[in-house]
Amino acid sequence: MFCPNCGTEVKDGKFCPNCGETLNVAQETPSEPVYQESTTESSKYTLSQFVNNTMQKDVGLETFELENEYVLDVNLNGRVWAKKGAMVAYNGDVKFHREGTLDHGLGKFVKKAMTGESTTMMKVDGTGHVYMADMGKKIIVLKLENDKIYVNGNDVLAFEDHIDWDIKMMTKSSSMMSGGLFNIRLQGSGMVAITTFFTPLTLRVTPDSPVMTDPQATVAWSGGLKPELKTNVDFKTLIGKDSGETFQMKFKGDGFVIVQPFEEG
């Protein structure tokens, strides 16, 4: 048995030969400590090890599957919409088309003309596997079930063709100063892939507990919320001595908001 005070092994007797502790011979003998080798992954591989560790999976169970945290595998059989320039590789019979001027009606064309290139989508048609990524950002696949979600236009990676979408504008004109004027509303049933810098945090919003966020760190929010832009403008702001958090988004209602630990300019 082992001494409970200093851990010295006591083969016989009632006293520890090291510290003199009185032992209870009836007590269970504590287990010896177990030491494990470090499981830290090495960055050194043989060529075959590297290929095996990074090989594409192509599980193909659903339209959107993650190859890893940063690469989306689109198991294409028909059409999906994706962020322009998101394709990093593909196989099969696949065609890419820049979104047409009136693909979604005149109303969306006018909104897109105001938002610029950040919300430009492309049509991906055909059959095969298309691998998508965006600046090494983490990818999250959401399965909407007759749901509605709003996403920062720059954080939408891809969505299935039958998802209804529209560009929405913040109601307050001052929001133009925050860089968060335009967002994309995604609604219906199907798969949506969004991106975040690093691991996101989801905050619960209740009628009694509104949540304020930095517009440049706000990724998405549930369809039932109607955010307002909250400004903190005073004399110090005008002379360049503000707190650095002049604009915030205020979420009221019942739902959630997703933020990332990074402020996108």
**Domain limits of the chain?**
1-33, 57-259
- Is 166's pLDDT higher than 70? yes
Task: Calculate the alpha carbon distances from 170 to 51, 177, 190 in Å.
Answer: 47, 11, 26
pLDDT at 25 over 60: no
177-219 per-position pLDDT tens digit: 444 467 899 999 999 999 999 999 999 999 999 999 999 999 9
Residue 51 is predicted with a pLDDT of: 87
pLDDT range class, residue 247, cuts 50, 70, 90: confident
Helix (H, G, I), strand (E, B) or coil at 262: coil
Class of 57-259 per CATH?
alpha beta
pLDDT tens for each residue of 35-71: 344 445 567 888 888 888 888 888 778 999 999 999 9
- Residue 100 binned pLDDT confidence (cut-offs 50, 70, 90): low
Q: Residues 235, 215: contact at Cβ < 8 Å?
A: no
Confidence of residue 226 (pLDDT cuts 50, 70, 90): confident
Residue in 183, 178, 175, 197 with CA at minimum distance from that of residue 152: 183
This prediction has a pTM of: 0.75
Instruction: Inform me whether the pLDDT recorded for 221 exceeds 70.
Output: yes
